[in-house]
A = this chain, B = another copy of it.
Amino acid sequence: MSPRTPEQYEEIRKHRRRHIMGVALVLFARKGFHSTSISQIAKAAKVSKGLIYNYFDSKDHLLEQLIVHEVQQGPDLLDILAQQTSDPYEQLTLLLDGAFQMIETDLTHWKLMTMLSLQEGIMQRMSSLFRKKVEDGMSTAIRIFERMGVSDPLVEAYLFGASMDGIFLHYLTMRDLDVAYPLAKLKKNLINRYRNHTTSNDEK
């Protein structure tokens, strides 16, 4: 009879908002932003089209919120793992473990972000957000490689990051083509590669 309290409304809004964003994330990641219509999102989320506009100003805004959430979300996997141990090799191992584990659970996020990053004009709007994120990640990785005594930690970090994303990319592609991809073996190989990396690239 009496109206809901502001807190209850707030709660409802938060839930619904998350729900819609979750559904949109999956659809955007699966079919791309432009090929996903608001109608499809509404149907998948079992809400009306109108409601989505109650929560987001526009389709673009919905995407933007999604991106912001994604970027703010990942509170630096690197940082967290780096604090669990001080041995850089172990840090790397943990990092790899984490990343390869994440690949299964969070592939949707990764896929969406990668798709968007390839599309002109979408990421640009939020480039500052990203630059920060990228720089933070890189500096952590660089520090690890520094302490491993790698000759050129910066390049090593770049290469490491590229390998990881390349593996993700191939994994995704292969999966869509129904071709097996030896994720586990690649992981083991990468770990081995850095086991006593201290000397691997320095003989020059």
Q: A131-B179, A179-B134 are in contact. Are A193 and B189 (CB under 8 A)?
A: no
Across the interface, do A186 and B169 meet the contact criterion of CB distance under 8 Å? no
A176 within 8 A of B: yes
Across the interface, do A120 and B176 meet the contact criterion of CB distance under 8 Å? yes
A165 within 8 A of B: yes
Complex CA–CA separation, A111 to B118 (angstroms):
7
Across the interface, do A201 and B173 meet the contact criterion of CB distance under 8 Å? no
Interface residues of A in 82-130 (CB under 8 A from B): 111, 114-115, 117-121, 123-124, 127, 130
Q: A165-B170, A182-B154 are in contact. Are A159 and B189 (CB under 8 A)?
A: yes
Neighbouring B residues of A134 by C-beta, 8 Å: 174, 177, 179
Of A13-21, A30-38, A68-76, the one with at least 4 CB within 8 A of chain B = A30-38
A190 within 8 A of B: yes
- Fill in one digit per residue for A173-193: 1 if any B CB lies within 8 Å of its CB, else 0: 110111101100110011011
Among B120, B165, B189, B190, point to the contact of A152 (Cβ < 8 A): B189
Neighbouring B residues of A161 by C-beta, 8 Å: 166, 170
Complex CA–CA separation, A127 to B186 (angstroms):
24
With both chains docked as a complex, state the minimum distance between the C-beta of A109 and any C-beta of chain B, in angstroms. 13
Across the interface, do B131 and A185 meet the contact criterion of CB distance under 8 Å? no
- Fill in one digit per residue for A10-50: 1 if any B CB lies within 8 Å of its CB, else 0: 00000000000000000000111011000000000000000
- Fill in one digit per residue for A125-161: 1 if any B CB lies within 8 Å of its CB, else 0: 0010011001000000000000000001011101101
Across the interface, do A120 and B186 meet the contact criterion of CB distance under 8 Å? no
Q: A118-B173, A155-B185, A162-B170 are in contact. List 18 more A-B contacts (CB 8 A).
A: A32-B34, A115-B115, A115-B119, A117-B169, A123-B173, A131-B179, A134-B179, A152-B185, A155-B182, A158-B170, A159-B167, A159-B186, A165-B169, A166-B167, A166-B169, A192-B201, A192-B204, A196-B203
Q: Which 3 A-B pairs rank lowest in CB-CB distance, beginning with the nearest?
A: A166-B166, A162-B166, A34-B34
